[in-house]
């Protein structure tokens, strides 16, 4: 079953612009993770944010987490054509170590040069 | 992070046949999972592969259709049985080394087309 919703479902921007994707989830979590998928291949892990963290950075990526609203956002700054991919958020279940991730529906990002 | 080798990477199969997908991790992991991703969709968990015992299936997935093995801490297989065109999907293996707050890593997926 899906954990929640992501919006937008699709996003088209120009190179150099910022891209923001949002994710909502339903249950209490230990952490939330963001993944990238290129053309239906395997998933690449981008960043993990723990439930007691509010913001995390990794290179051009900035992730925020609001556990009171059960939502997260992924910001990609200064986007490049190579950022074109599908982006998924995924959560585990609080108080259950080692559970499978539950994925959101994903955002398809298209960056044109 | 560990490396997962998944094979085959793709296959085209006749309806009514079965396909076994293999997943090999380069180091011991605590948990292994199988996901399905239908065209244009997100990932849906099929089951947790339990080492030395029967897999734990999610609602809508049954052992007769998707038998899973996990004989040790680094290897698992998923069989898609008696295939129909509706089984055409990407199947992904995932593994988790530790407990909470550790990243899950994924194989490259198996793109299955049933004709």
Q: Which of B106, B107, B111 sits opposite A40 (nearest CB)?
A: B111
User: What is the predicted pLDDT for the residue at A1?
Assistant: 46
pLDDT digits (tens, 9 = 90+) for A37-94: 998 688 999 999 999 999 999 999 999 999 999 999 999 999 999 999 999 999 987 7
Indicate which of A33, A39, A42, A106 best probes the interface with B, i.e. most B CBs within 10 Å of its own CB: A42
C-alpha–C-alpha distance, residues B107 and B4, integer Å: 5
Query: How high does pLDDT run on average in chain B?
Result: 93
The DSSP line for A43-70 is EEEEEEEETT-SEEEETTEEEEEETTTT
Share of chain B above pLDDT 70, in %: 96
CA atoms within 13 A on the CB side of A101: 30
Cβ distance of A106 and B45 shorter than 8 Å: no
User: What is the predicted pLDDT for the residue at B99?
Assistant: 62
How many C-beta neighbours within 10 Å does residue A52 have?
A: 10
What's the sign of the alpha-carbon dihedral A27, A23, A44, A31? negative
Q: Which residues of B touch A58 (CB under 8 A)?
A: none
Contact between B96 and B4 under an 8 Å Cβ cutoff? The reply is no
C-alpha–C-alpha distance, residues A42 and A24, integer Å: 23
Cβ distance of A42 and B92 shorter than 8 Å: yes
Q: Which of A42, A48, A105 sits opposite B107 (nearest CB)?
A: A42
């Amino acid at each position: 079953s899906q954990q929640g919703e992501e919006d937008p479902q699709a996003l088209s921007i120009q190179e150099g612009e910022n891209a923001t994707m949002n994710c909502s989830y339903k249950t209490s979590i230990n952490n939330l993770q963001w993944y990238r998928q290129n053309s239906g291949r395997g998933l690449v892990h981008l960043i993990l944010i723990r439930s007691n963290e509010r913001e995390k950075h990794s290179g051009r990526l900035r992730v925020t987490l609001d556990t009171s609203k059960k939502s997260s956002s992924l910001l990609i700054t200064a986007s490049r054509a190579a950022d074109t991919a599908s982006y998924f958020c995924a959560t585990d279940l609080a108080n259950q170590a080692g559970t499978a991730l539950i994925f959101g529906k994903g955002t398809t990002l298209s960056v044109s040069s | 992070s560990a490396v997962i080798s998944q094979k085959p990477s793709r296959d085209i199969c006749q309806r009514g046949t079965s396909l076994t997908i293999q997943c090999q991790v380069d180091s011991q992991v605590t948990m292994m999972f199988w996901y399905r991703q239908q065209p244009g969709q997100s990932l849906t968990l099929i089951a947790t592969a339990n080492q030395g015992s029967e897999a734990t299936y999610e609602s809508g997935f049954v052992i007769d259709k998707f038998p899973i093995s996990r004989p040790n801490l680094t290897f698992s297989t998923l069989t898609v049985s008696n295939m129909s065109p509706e089984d055409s999907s990407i199947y992904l293996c995932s593994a988790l080394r530790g407990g909470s707050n550790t990243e899950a890593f994924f194989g490259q997926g198996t793109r299955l087309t049933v004709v």
